[in-house]
Structure 1
Amino acid sequence: MSDEGTAGADEGAARAADGPVPFLRFGPRPDRTTYEGWQEFRKTRGLFVPVKKITLAEYRRMSPRKKSLHDLHRAATHVNLRLQQTPMSEAVTALMRSRIQNNAMRFDPSTLDGLMINGGGYQGKTETACLTAAEFEDDWRVLFEEYRAYHLDAMPGTRNLSAPVAYCQTPIKATPIGLCEAILDFYGAPYGRNLRGMIRNARESIKVHGTTVLIIDDITRLKMHREDDQDTLDLIRGLMDLDVTLVLIGVNIPRSGLLREGWHDPRTKQWVYAPLKKGKSYNPEASTQTERRFDMVDLDPFDDSTPAGTEAFVQHLVGIENQIRLFGAGPGTLSAGDMPEYLFRRTHGIVGLLRRLIEDGLVKAMESGLENLTTDLLDEITINLGNVPGHDDIRDADAGEIPDVDTAPRPGPGKKPKKGRNTVYDDPGTPPAAEA
């Protein structure tokens, strides 16, 4: 290349460096509770490109501006750690995918079976369900686009939108009106003059927009001793006769009362539930819609009580450490030595807490110049479960959405630890060769 061409290439690279930064989001994150936000989430998920791994020597040869941009990209990489599948989430994904697909291909008008995703707070239930539903919508749209077999007639007064998947959240204080508003807000449809009109509009919106999957998150915000909550559950049951797969997500669903029928005691003005017997409702002869038309699948945290569970947790840590862009970190940063045991004790194997602890640690490691993750550095970090940014991440502690676990750092010098060291993570090393 000539000197003139080289100069032109350098000038073009300089202009590119001065242009927009491709790894930053300009504007708010997608609001999945609206059609536009869901489509943005579906189309942009997985598009983030992590910063390229370079050596410290390469970094030092950079200009000050390039160092600044590289550090910014590193920070963006650390707060966009890829959500990895776990053995538990893989089971949820497989069941949800098969349930949605099977229901979508049914021709008979029978009521479709739904799915309940149960688990504690910060265990990735919502993200797992949304990613699975988005993948289904991708395939569903391609299928109908290829065969040109999908036609949607707009309902008068609404927009002509194809919405194979709809996502909404149960209001913290659930009422039938509040749930109808959440569903109608997704489509941007009118509310109606009264509750009957709202229910009619919600049902029509689901049908006319071709919705195949309706995800209702935070379902255990329903408190079954309240009459409004009972009416809201009746509304959800009423949606089951539509040609839509209901996916309900909640914390500790078996103890919430959602799987049982109840009756209202006029004397105490309370809803009464008999004790569960062998997982059935109080009236075994009754046909309980919720119990018999929903399968429930659990999304549990990692379990270190078995070798398989321990190995799965360590492999999960390997996947995370491969995404780390600290100059002093490398293979084994999270998965070797005492670190797996430490991380499990701090997070109880809950993927959301693990992610938060590591993300905060990565920020601190860059700011301090340590450029590595150590237990001493992580000891300085408190996992504050009440400090959750973003309006779409607001959690209801009363509904169990914030886990009741001890995330405190290890005891300081001179303090007796609460529990003895778990040696299941230890590497016994290579056994000595037998003597001749």
Structure 2
Amino acid sequence: MITVPDESGIVPFLRAGPPPDRTRHEGWKRWQDQRDKFIPAPRLSLEEYAALSPRRRALHDLHRTATHVNLGLLETPMSAKVTKLMRGRLRNNALNFEPGTRDGLMVSGGGYLGKTETACDAAATFEALWRDLHRQLLPGPIPGTRDLFVPVAYCRTPVRATPKGLCAAILDFYAAPHPKTLHGMVRQVADSIRVHHTTALLLDDVTRLRLHREDDQDTLDLIRELMDLNVTLVLIGVDIPNSGLLRGGRPDPRTGQWILPPVKPGQTFNPGAATQTERRFDLVDLDPFDYDSPKGIKAWLDHLAGIEDRLRLLQARPGMLTEGAMPEYLFRRTGGIVGLLRRLIEDGCTEAIDSQAEELTVDLLAGIPIRLGNLADRDPTAGEIPEIPEDIAVPAPAPRPRRKGRNTVFDDRGERPAADA
């Protein structure tokens, strides 16, 4: 990548091919390697931009657009809480060499709040640390052979979940074969996790499970059994407390953890399990921003300032997103949901470049609907698509302060007329 497009015809900031598929090991590793490599467009003044050739201006506009749609993961107070808990849990469980189940973690929140990206980023940071330790303590991979060391596995719960479907999703991450029987698939999952030395298994979209269906109940039982494999289970879903996944569980008043009962004898998918222990999960919520307290407002303004610093509009100015009526307007348009805010800012920047306005204003954003694009991979019935605020009025411009009249008491009005002398 380069910072300024040249005349060679190469556009290095464009991505070649489709985005990485994190539900496959190769895609997960490619995403992990590339997630911090994007170089944003340089900041140019109007004069510097005007001095570019037409072709370089077009390439710079393209680079600016790529910058606006690749803002990266901005930490919020809510995501920092999730990240701290998750990194600590993954590290502690990985260093626990005693047999038995590992305490899991549930990451809950509404749609488009960044649950998946926050959890994946925390897992990728842990994996980088764990791989570094692995390279120091164990010999490296043999050239020409496949890397068997996979500390983190990520998969998504199928929309129509069954135990076989979940096993298939996990096995697809490892590119492992699919046995014909359910117990064969479960054994293959256990073997894959053990052989690849996987210490963390991320299961996304778990609230797609509908516990009034027998297949979904069996799938949830299988998820609980996976904890017997000495792997840290991280479940990610929308509004987990009200989804039914915690049915039968109870919160521990001392630790705050949710304790889930074991699978009933005779229903286990892991006949080799030595014990039937209770499953423990920490539940952490990733909430939207709030605008009801000074602390919440400050966090919102800090987030907007972070976004503002990454924009590449030629007329951008300090306070473009954080001053006047803009912060409250953005909150009302998005409800404090980071995913909706990001989409609005992306489309707003595109319009600002196309219209040559080169700045974001309330009037410009008022004409841009929030469209969420392709939703084929999201389940609306599981709450994965948030409600978008509509009919948000454009705030009236603040009245300009009246200019205070000048005090004329001591003005010299000239000589008094002779008749008044």
The 3 A distance-change label for structure 1 pair 278 and 196 is closer
Unaligned stretches of 5+ residues in structure 1:
1-13, 153-157, 262-275, 281-285, 424-436
1:316 aligns with 2:276: no
User: What pairs up with 1:326-405 in 2 under 5 angstroms?
Assistant: 326-385=313-372, 387-388=373-374, 394-404=377-387
User: What pairs up with 1:74-223 in 2 under 5 angstroms?
Assistant: 74-148=64-138, 161-223=148-210
Give, as a single letter, the amino acid of the residue that structure 1 aligns with 2:390: A
CA contact (8 A) 1:260 1:288 kept: no
> Which residue matches 1:17?
7
Structure 1 residue 148 displacement after superposition: 2.2
Give, as a single letter, the amino acid of the residue that structure 1 aligns with 2:32: R
> Which residue matches 2:25?
35
* Runs of 4+ with deviation above 3 angstroms: 149-152, 276-280, 289-292
Q: Please, which of 225, 229, 236 is the counterpart of residue 249 of structure 1?
A: 236
CA contact (8 A) 1:302 1:313 kept: yes
Structure 1 residue 409 displacement after superposition: 4.5
CA contact (8 A) 2:224 2:279 kept: no
Q: Give the 3-state SS of the residue equivalent to 1:174 in structure 2.
A: coil
1:138-182 CA-partner distances (Å, limit 9, x unpaired) = 111111102226889xxxxx9552111000000011111110110
Greater shift after overlay, 16-25 or 185-194? 16-25
1:47-106 CA-partner distances (Å, limit 9, x unpaired) = 000011010011111111111111111111111112110000000000000000000000
Whole-angstrom CA distance in 1 between matches of 2:298 and 2:389: 22
Q: Please, which of 66, 70, 77 is the counterpart of residue 60 of structure 2?
A: 70
- Per the normalisation by structure 2, the TM-score is 0.84
CA contact (8 A) 1:383 1:408 kept: no
Larger radius of gyration: 2
Whole-angstrom CA distance in 2 between matches of 1:289 and 1:128: 29
CA RMSD of aligned residues (A): 2.5
Q: Give the 3-state SS of the residue equivalent to 1:210 in structure 2.
A: coil
Whole-angstrom CA distance in 1 between matches of 2:36 and 2:251: 43
1:383-432 CA-partner distances (Å, limit 9, x unpaired) = 124x236x6xx21110001113x4224237xxxx9xxx9x9xxxxxxxxx
Unaligned stretches of 5+ residues in structure 2:
254-258, 264-277, 399-421
Q: Please, which of 230, 234, 242 is the counterpart of residue 217 of structure 2?
A: 230
CA contact (8 A) 1:92 1:299 kept: yes
Give, as a single letter, the amino acid of the residue that structure 1 aligns with 2:384: E
> How many residue pairs were aligned?
373
Taking only the aligned residue pairs, the percentage that are identical comes to 58
Whole-angstrom CA distance in 1 between matches of 2:187 and 2:74: 40
Whole-angstrom CA distance in 1 between matches of 2:286 and 2:280: 20
Whole-angstrom CA distance in 2 between matches of 1:287 and 1:51: 49
Whole-angstrom CA distance in 2 between matches of 1:68 and 1:15: 9
Whole-angstrom CA distance in 1 between matches of 2:279 and 2:99: 17
Whole-angstrom CA distance in 1 between matches of 2:64 and 2:380: 33
1:335-367 CA-partner distances (Å, limit 9, x unpaired) = 111000000000011101110111011111111
Q: Give the 3-state SS of the residue equivalent to 1:17 in structure 2.
A: coil
Q: Please, which of 382, 392, 395 is the counterpart of residue 410 of structure 1?
A: 392
Structure 1 residue 15 displacement after superposition: 11
Give, as a single letter, the amino acid of the residue that structure 1 aligns with 2:302: Q
Give, as a single letter, the amino acid of the residue that structure 2 aligns with 1:251: V
Structure 1 residue 381 displacement after superposition: 1.2
Structure 1 residue 19 displacement after superposition: 4.2
Q: Give the 3-state SS of the residue equivalent to 1:301 in structure 2.
A: coil
Structure 1 residue 17 displacement after superposition: 2.7
Give, as a single letter, the amino acid of the residue that structure 2 aligns with 1:17: E
> Which residue matches 1:288?
261
CA contact (8 A) 2:108 2:238 kept: yes
CA contact (8 A) 1:380 1:409 kept: no
CA contact (8 A) 2:156 2:169 kept: yes
1:278-334 CA-partner distances (Å, limit 9, x unpaired) = 899xxxxx9624985111000000111110010000010000001111111111111
CA contact (8 A) 1:361 1:381 kept: yes
Whole-angstrom CA distance in 2 between matches of 1:215 and 1:15: 39
1:108-147 CA-partner distances (Å, limit 9, x unpaired) = 1021000000000000000000011111111111111022
Structure 1 residue 39 displacement after superposition: 0.3
Whole-angstrom CA distance in 2 between matches of 1:68 and 1:354: 27
Whole-angstrom CA distance in 2 between matches of 1:287 and 1:150: 40
Whole-angstrom CA distance in 2 between matches of 1:210 and 1:82: 30
CA contact (8 A) 1:111 1:240 kept: yes
Whole-angstrom CA distance in 2 between matches of 1:410 and 1:245: 44
The 3 A distance-change label for structure 1 pair 16 and 331 is closer
